[in-house]
């Protein structure tokens, strides 16, 4: 086993949402990532969490095979940005 077999890259995003929408947000973001697991090159997995002491924060961590794959996805992905743009400022989330 080489170092390249072990090392992955992760991206952490923690947007704010209305507390009463956190379950809905988790479902929508989870569906987004589940539908992209086999479609997105380099994506190895994801984790979504809510901190009970700050339920308005939904932390999303994605795990990538390479920094290049991660950077390419986030620089070109408008679908995920659209999911995150629905936030309390717009009063949609």
DSSP 41: T
Residue range of the domain that includes 13: 3-90
Residues 6+ apart with CB under 8 A from 77: none
Predicted TM-score (pTM) of the model is 0.74
Helix axes 22-36, 78-85, angle to 10 degrees: 170
Q: Kindly report the CATH number assigned to the domain that includes residue 77.
A: 3.30.70.100
- Yes or no: say if 84 and 57 are a contact pair by the CB < 8 Å rule: no
At 93 the pLDDT is: 44
Report the alpha-carbon distance of residue 73 to residue 33 in Å, rounded.
Answer: 12
Report the alpha-carbon distance of residue 25 to residue 19 in Å, rounded.
Answer: 10
pLDDT values of the chain reduced to their tens digit, one per residue, 93 residues: 555 566 789 999 888 777 787 788 788 888 888 988 889 899 999 999 888 888 888 888 999 999 999 999 888 777 666 666 654 444 444
């Amino acid at each position: 086993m080489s170092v390249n077999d072990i090392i992955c890259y992760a991206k952490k995003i923690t947007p704010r949402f209305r507390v009463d929408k956190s379950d809905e947000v988790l479902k929508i973001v989870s569906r987004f990532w589940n539908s992209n697991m086999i479609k997105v090159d380099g994506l190895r997995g994801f984790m979504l969490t809510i901190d009970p002491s700050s339920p308005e924060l939904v932390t999303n961590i994605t795990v990538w095979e390479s920094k290049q794959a991660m950077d390419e996805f986030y620089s070109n992905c408008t679908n995920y940005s659209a999911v995150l743009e629905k936030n309390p400022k717009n009063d949609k989330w």
